[in-house]
Chain A
Amino acid sequence: MAVGQNVLRREGYEKLTGAARYIDDIALDGMLYGKTVRSAIPRGRVKTITFDPGYDWSRVVIADYRDIPGDNYVALIENDQPLLAETEIRHCEEPILLVAAESKREAEIAARRVIIEYEESAPLLTIEQALNSDETIYGSDNIFKRFLIARGDVDEGFKQADHIITGEYRVPHQEQLYIETQGMIAIPAKDSMTVMGSMQCPYYVHKAIKQLFNLQDEQAIVIQTTTGGGFGGKEEYPSMIAAHAALLAHKAQRPVKMIYDRSEDIASTPKRHPGIIRHRTGVMSDGRLIASEIEILFDGGAYATLSSVVLSRGAIHAQGPYKCENLRVTARAVATNTPPNGAFRGFGAPQVTFAYELQMEKIASELGIDPLELRRVNMLREGDITATGQRLTWSVGSEAVLDAAVERSGFVEKRRTISQNNSGAKRRGIGLSFFFHGAGFTGSGEAKMKAQAGVEITPEGRARVLAGSTEIGQGTRTIFCQIVADELGISYDDVEVEDPDTSRVPDSGPTVASRTCMVVGRVIQLAARESKDRLLQFVAERFGESEVKLIEGWFTADGKRLVRFDETAREYVNLRGELRAYARYASPPGVEWDDDTYSGDAYPVFSYGADVAEVEVDLDTCEVTTLKITTAQDIGRAIHPILAAGQIEGGTLQAVGYGLFEELVWDRGRVVNNRLTNYIIPTSLDAPEMETIIVEKEYPYGPFGAKGVGELPMDGAAPAIAAAIYNATGALVNEIPITPERLLAALENMPATDSRQARSDQR
Chain B
Amino acid sequence: MKITFQINGVEREIDSPPMKRLLDVLREDLRLTGTKEGCGEGECGACSVIVDGEVINSCLAPICQMQGANLLTAEGLSRDGRLDPLQQAFLECGAAQCGICTPGMLISARSLLDANPRPTRDEIKEAIAGNLCRCTGYIKIIDAIEFAAGARR
A146-188: contact bitstring with B at CB < 8 Å (1 yes, 0 no)? 0000000000000000000000000000001111110000000
Contacts of A18 in B (CB 8 A): 32-35, 73-75, 103
Q: Main SS of the interface on chain A? A: loop
The answer to whether A473 touches B135, judged by C-beta atoms less than 8 angstroms apart, is yes
Q: Find chain B residues with CB under 8 A from A473 CB.
A: 97-99, 135
How many residue pairs link A and B with beta carbons under 8 A? The number is 161
* Beta-carbon contact of A684 and B141 below 8 Å: yes
On chain B, the residues within 8 Å of A16 by CB distance are 78, 83, 87, 90-91, 96, 99, 102, 106
The total of chain B residues at the interface (CB under 8 A) is 54
Whether A681 contacts B134 by the Cβ 8 Å rule is yes
Complex CA distance for A256 and B41, rounded to whole angstroms = 25
Among A222-230, A282-290, A333-341, A598-606, which stretch is in contact with chain B?
A222-230
Partner of A179, one of B41, B73, B132, B141: B132
Report B89 CB to chain A, min CB distance, Å.
Answer: 10
State in angstroms the CA–CA spacing of A390 and B56 once bound together: 55
List residues of chain B with CB within 8 A of the CB of A687: 125, 137-139
CB pair A12 B96 closer than 8 Å: yes
Q: Please, how many angstroms separate the alpha-carbon atoms of A760 and B107 in the complex?
A: 49
| A685 adjacent to B126 (CB under 8 Å) | yes
Across the interface, B137 reaches (CB within 8 A) one of A25, A27, A649, namely A649
Tell me, yes or no, whether B113 is within 8 Å of chain A by CB: no
- Pick from B38, B126, B130: contact of A180, CB below 8 A: B38
The listed residue (A9, A24, A652) touching B94 by CB distance below 8 A is A9
Q: Does A261 make an interface contact (CB < 8 A)?
A: yes
Docked CA distance A21–B148 (Å): 26
- Whether A229 lies near B98 (C-beta < 8 A) is yes
Chain A residues in 8 Å Cβ range of B63: none
A145 within 8 A of B: no
B22 CB within 8 Å of chain A:
no
B38 pairs with A179, CB closer than 8 A = yes
Flag if A178 contacts B97 (CB, 8 Å): no
A20 CA / B103 CA spacing, docked (Å): 10
Chain B residues whose C-beta falls within 8 Å of the C-beta of A261 in the assembled complex: 40
- Say what secondary structure dominates the interface of chain B: loop
How far is the CB of B25 from the nearest CB of chain A, in Å?
14
| Chain A residues numbered 1-43 whose CB sits less than 8 Å from any CB in chain B | 6, 8-9, 11-22, 24-25, 27
Contact-residue size bin, chain A (C-beta under 8 Å from the other chain): 35 or more
Enumerate chain B residues within 8 angstroms of A9, measured Cβ to Cβ: 91, 94, 96
Are A179 and B133 interface neighbours, CB within 8 A? yes
B10 to chain A, nearest CB (A): 15
Q: Are A262 and B77 in contact (CB under 8 A)?
A: no
Residue of chain A at shortest CB distance from B97:
A473
Within 8 A of A (CB), among B7-64: 27-28, 32-41, 43-44, 46
Chain A: which residue is nearest B102 at the CB level?
A15
Residues of B within 8 A of A643 (CB): 94
Q: In the bound complex, what is the Cα–Cα distance between A513 and B141 (angstroms)?
A: 26
CA distance A226 to B131 in the complex (A): 20
Residue in chain B with minimal CB distance to A21? B33
Q: Please give, as numbers and ranges, the residues of chain B lying within 8 Å of A675 by CB-CB distance.
A: 39, 41, 43
Residues of A with C-beta under 8 A to B75? 17-19
**Nearest CB of B to A680, in Å:** 10
Interfacial chain A residues near B44, Cβ < 8 Å: 179, 676
- 16 A-B pairs (CB sep. < 8 Å): A8-B92, A12-B91, A13-B83, A18-B35, A22-B33, A22-B100, A179-B36, A226-B99, A230-B98, A646-B94, A651-B137, A675-B43, A683-B132, A684-B128, A685-B129, A690-B137
Q: Given contact pairs A6-B92, A16-B91, enumerate 15 new A-B contacts (beta carbons under 8 Å).
A: A9-B96, A12-B91, A16-B106, A18-B103, A22-B33, A177-B134, A179-B98, A229-B134, A262-B40, A262-B41, A642-B140, A676-B39, A684-B133, A690-B137, A690-B139
